[in-house]
Amino acid sequence: MAVFGVDYAWGRPGAAALKRAGAKFACRYLSHDTTGKNLDRAEADELSAAGLWLVVVWETAANRALDGRSAGAADATAAASQATACGMPDDRPIYFAVDWDASSSQQSAINAYLDGAASVLGRGRVGLYAGYGPVNRAFDAGKIAYGWQTYAWSGGRWDARAQLQQYSNDHTINGVGLDYDRAVKSDYGQWRVGVSPGEDDEMPSYVSVGTTKEQQLPAGQWTNVSWQHDYADSEHQHADSGGPSILWGPARYSLTAAVTVTGVPAGTLIQARAVEVDAKDDSKVTGGPVQDYVSAGDQTHIVYSVAADTIGDGYRLRFQVAQHGGGAAKAATGGSAKVFFWR
């Protein structure tokens, strides 16, 4: 079921008016603007106190993403500083705007910009606001974990992986011009001052982890991906910190994992799966759905997802990769995994 929200820039409709209109969240700007466009701490406090969720997007010039990796790193640094000052928890994502009808020929520059943002935030915290084409291509390339797609430049198509949809523009609430949005996933990047969604009864609990070390991937065998960094672990589910177990059962869960594989010749099969492992005997493994990928050569970005599954009592959830090249390969640093779960 979709959740209704809005986005706006210079005006301030106020929390009471937004709630009367039925909004559950507000998407707000971060930027270098000094004329009142940006979210500030006072507004964040007001909306949070009223029970509204916040989402943030960075935008300066519409085509800023064409400036590549260094621009993405600089913007992510500035965005993270502003978001922290507004009270955003440091595990929440930031969207970056591509506010024009970007062509496929421009995607390499956009992807480089997103790489720069990921070098600062971690891939699991990078989102993209854009039309269908850039969002679709960025998800396919494993450059983003979050998508906010506008109906503009989308030709009626929606990428099913995008968490947010901007579906109608030019509305007014309490005299302020704004756009209508809907969240179509349980996690769409929302937060309140000092509060991540896993800390609220309206949302499932979650674990968010990442990789900070390269890992060897021998040819022709399933290899557990280990996670060295905990971004969020509200119920201490990632008990083997630095290890491969992401979640302990029993639980219902959804999983998204992203890794970059290097050293596999182009055209070679790479596979990924989620597995359940007996907590008392690692040799007892139950394989989950296998997803196939084809190596792009130098670097292959894998985004694996399970929309809904269940892990039993006494079992733990792991993520595995198998590469079928002729020699050794590696899983690069910067991988991420996020699990939402319900007891």
Tens-place pLDDT, residues 119-149 = 999 999 999 999 999 999 999 999 999 999 9
Global pTM exceeds 0.75: no
- pLDDT of 222 over the 70 cut: yes
Q: Which residue has the tokens 């800023």?
A: 64
The b-or-e profile of 229-256 (16+ CB within 10 A means b, else e) is bbbbbeeebbeeeeebbbbbbebebbbb
The class that CATH gives domain 3-199 is alpha beta
pLDDT grade, residue 75 (50/70/90)? very high
Residue 307 confidence (pLDDT) above 60: yes
**Contact predicate 166/141, CB 8 Å:** no
Q: Running DSSP on this structure, what letter comes out for residue 38?
A: B
DSSP 8-state assignment for residue 245: -
Residues of the chain within CATH 3.20.20.80 domain(s) are: 3-199
Residue 134 phi, psi (nearest 5): -60, -40
* Burial per residue of 30-67, b for 16 or more beta-carbon CB atoms within 10 angstroms, e otherwise: bbeeeeebbbeeebbbebbeeebbbbbbbbbeeebbbb
DSSP three-state, residue 203 = coil
Asked whether the beta carbons of 47 and 193 are under 8 A apart, the reply is no
Instruction: Give pLDDT tens digits for 41-58.
Output: 999 999 988 889 999 999
| Planar angle of CA 317, 323, 328, nearest 5 degrees | 115
The Cα–Cα gap between 293 and 300 comes to: 9
Residue range(s) occupied by CATH 2.60.120.40 in the chain: 205-342
H/E segment holding residue 29:
strand 25-30
Beta-carbon contacts of 23 under 8 Å, excluding residues fewer than 6 positions away, are 4, 5, 6, 52, 173
The closest of 72, 122, 84, 320 to 217, measured between CA atoms, is 320
Burial of 279 (0-12, 13-18, 19+ CB in 10 A): middle
| Average pLDDT over the chain, rounded to an integer | 91
**How far is it, in rounded angstroms, from Cα 185 to Cα 198?**
14
Domain 205-342 has CATH 3.30.300.20: no
Is residue 227 within 8 A of residue 253, CB to CB? The reply is: no
% of residues, the chain, pLDDT over 70? 94
What does each C-alpha distance from 12 to 28, 99, 214 come to in angstroms? Answer: 10, 22, 46
